[in-house]
Amino acid sequence: MSAVRPPAAHEDEKPVEQAPEAPRPLYPGAPPPQPPKPLPQLLLYMFAATVIGLTQALGMSFITVTIQQIAGPLKATTAEATWLLAVYLVPNASLTLMLFKMRQQFGIRRFAELSIILYVLVNLCHLWVNSYEAALVVRFFAGVAAAPMSSIAILYMLEGLPAQKKFSIGICAAMTVISLGTPLAGLMAPVLLDHGGWQQLYVFEIGLALISLALIYKLPLVSGERVKVISRNDLVAFSFLFIGMGALTVALTVGRIYWWTEKPWIGGLMIVGIASLTIMAMIETHRENPLLDVRWLTSAEIIHFTGALLIFRIILSEQSSGARAFFMMLGLGNEQMRGLYIVMIIATIVAGATCSLLLKPGRVAALHAFALVLLIIGTWLDSQATSLTRPPQMYLSQTLIAFAAGLYLPPAMLVGIMAALKRGPSYLLSFIIVFLTTQRIGGILGSALLGSFVTWREQVHSAALVQDLAGGDPLVSQRIAQLAGAYGQTIGDAAVRKAEGAMLFASQVRQQAYVLAYNDGFRFLCLLACLALVVLIIDVAFETWEHKRAAAEGLPA
């Protein structure tokens, strides 16, 4: 019996066209490419990104700008209050690694919803905190809860934008919002403290968190397919990463407060941190599917990229830790720096808008060079400060520095993403870890280095000034007598008045030594920015020469 054959196709019959293959996600677990959203809906998602980003940024910055005001109600010293910042940063510095994989395994939408609920609950716990020990515990879990918020803010900013606009408008807008945390906190903290004390800061945080909760549920993110990507070995590697990053974060945050060589446990923390990260790198090197591609992270390309980001973050500490600490040393509070904070906010927003218009792959080097030039000018202007300098005299320099920050970070992120995608989507996770880690650790490292440098230079200048100001100098005696005269109405004993005048004179000498030390610090950062600019010019010149040589020899560039 012959086999049954299918009927022959008619000659005029056209072949059936296959449906176009659906676009594939960028990486496993990522949402599939979506068409651009209508403008009203797009603006709502960008508004949600702004609220979520500010919620996370203000949560960390409120502690930074009000450390002295918070220490009093908690019956803690300023050094002890610094631990509130340290324990917050410990989980924040390393959790990004696992959060990216959790998004892949559980879905972006569920990840965002659970994250914001946890953030709201942890912030509610602050209302019942009335002791220093309880505050430490709550701030640690606040750092855990806040870790995903910046990533969620970036996802909301990118949601609904056309593909070609995600790397310009999306990245620039997200980086701008995240950068507004410190100046906004400094601007708002005095008002909140005047209307309810330090707990009013947490009430405001809770309010923002509840608004973010409503926005996340009302405007859900598009989720991709869930992919099982977390393994037992991942958890082992992450444990060493958490210990290593946490130990280094604590050491860098409180090291300059207790001073590096005075407390043996600071050195112990740094040894534990380096050893844990070394073990983690050894584990990852011998895994078939590592959590991090250590070989790629230690390649010349990524070391160059990481070094550039770290140097830039150290230079930017001039604004976050330098200028603000300088005015606090002169006795000014956040109330007297409101104008300076407003200038920073305006400059940051304008820089973000400018960068979104100019950002293209071929313009990255030019934007970075211009940003470094602005940093050189800004830090040099600040290095001319005196004990009579007040915030209005730094409006121009701080505008230049804030504008430079807005021009530098988005192009750097664009370069890193493109380098990762050239290798393959799987490298995107490693890049995200590099970028976010350099931002967090770089900020802590910059603050630690600048603070330590200023402390060292203050000791040098104090010794030099005391050596020049001999007790028998008539001008010194006259100045002490003038200062002692201020106590004439309250202290009758002439010897006691003279002693008080001498103490006040010594305080003024130390303040002048600090002014000179901060000027040295600003000049050092100016020199570092000049060095970075020279390296950038040499790098661009070498790259141009390589392209020309390859073109002349007919080789691929």
Chain segment 256-302, per-residue pLDDT in tens: 888 877 888 888 888 888 888 888 888 877 777 776 667 777 777 77
Percent of the chain past pLDDT 70, that is, above it, reads 77
**Euclidean distance between CA atoms 147 and 154, whole angstroms:** 13
**Euclidean distance between CA atoms 141 and 271, whole angstroms:** 25
Residue that wins the pLDDT comparison between 12 and 303: 303
**Euclidean distance between CA atoms 364 and 439, whole angstroms:** 19
pLDDT grade, residue 88 (50/70/90)? Answer: confident
B/e letters for 523-532, b = 16+ CB within 10 Å, e = fewer, are ebbbebbbeb
Residue 190: predicted pLDDT = 82
Identify residue 214 by its one-letter amino acid code: A
Mean pLDDT of 25-44: 68
User: Which two tokens mark 187?
Assistant: 């601007």
- DSSP state, 362? G
Mean pLDDT of 438-442: 74
Residue 17: predicted pLDDT = 46
Tell me the C-alpha to C-alpha distance, in Å, between residue 358 and each of 348, 435, 524. Answer: 15, 21, 30
**Euclidean distance between CA atoms 8 and 12, whole angstroms:** 12
Residue 82: predicted pLDDT = 81
Ramachandran bin of 31, using left for φ above 0, alpha for ψ from -120 to 50, beta for the remaining angles: beta
pLDDT grade, residue 27 (50/70/90)? Answer: low
Mean pLDDT of 477-505: 63
**Closest residue by Cα to residue 119 from 61, 218, 206, 200:** 206
**Euclidean distance between CA atoms 147 and 443, whole angstroms:** 16
Residue 475 scores a pLDDT above 60:
yes
Among 110-124, 169-183, 498-512, the range scoring the smallest mean pLDDT is 498-512
Mean pLDDT of 223-232: 65
B/e letters for 202-229, b = 16+ CB within 10 Å, e = fewer, are bebbbebbbebbebbeebebebbeeeeb
**Euclidean distance between CA atoms 70 and 234, whole angstroms:** 38
**Euclidean distance between CA atoms 329 and 451, whole angstroms:** 12
- DSSP state, 478? H
* DSSP for 89-124, written as a single string: HHHHTTHHHHHHHHHHHH-HHHHHHHHHHHHHHHHH
Burial class (CB in 10 A: 0-12, 13-18, 19+), 439: buried
> Residue with structure tokens 């370069």?
415
Percent of the chain past pLDDT 90, that is, above it, reads 2
Among 22-26, 148-152, 285-289, 347-351, the range scoring the smallest mean pLDDT is 22-26
Burial class (CB in 10 A: 0-12, 13-18, 19+), 37: middle
**Closest residue by Cα to residue 222 from 160, 154, 173, 162:** 160
**CA torsion 172→177→181→182, rounded to 10°?**
40
Residue 16: predicted pLDDT = 46
Mean pLDDT for the chain overall = 76
Mean pLDDT of 329-335: 81
Identify residue 521 by its one-letter amino acid code: G
**Euclidean distance between CA atoms 106 and 182, whole angstroms:** 32
Residue 183 scores a pLDDT above 80:
yes
Residue 385 scores a pLDDT above 70:
yes
For the stretch 120-160, pLDDT in tens is 787 777 777 777 777 788 778 777 777 777 777 877 887 77
**CA torsion 369→372→378→382, rounded to 10°?**
-150
Residue 5: predicted pLDDT = 46
pLDDT grade, residue 19 (50/70/90)? Answer: very low
Identify residue 112 by its one-letter amino acid code: A
Among 340-354, 496-510, 531-545, the range scoring the smallest mean pLDDT is 496-510
Q: What is the CA radius of gyration of the chain?
A: 28
Residue 9: predicted pLDDT = 45
For the stretch 44-81, pLDDT in tens is 888 888 888 888 788 778 877 777 777 777 777 777 77
Per-residue three-class SS string for 203-264: HHHHHHHHHHHHHHHHCCCCCCCCCCCCCHHHHHHHHHHHHHHHHHHHHHHHHHHHCCCCCH
* Under 8 Å between Cβ of 386 and 519: no
Residue 495: predicted pLDDT = 66
Residue 25 scores a pLDDT above 70:
no
For the stretch 506-529, pLDDT in tens is 777 777 888 888 899 899 999 988
* Under 8 Å between Cβ of 514 and 459: no
Residue 135: predicted pLDDT = 78
Residue 299: predicted pLDDT = 73
> Residue with structure tokens 């060095």?
531
User: Which two tokens mark 452?
Assistant: 């330590």
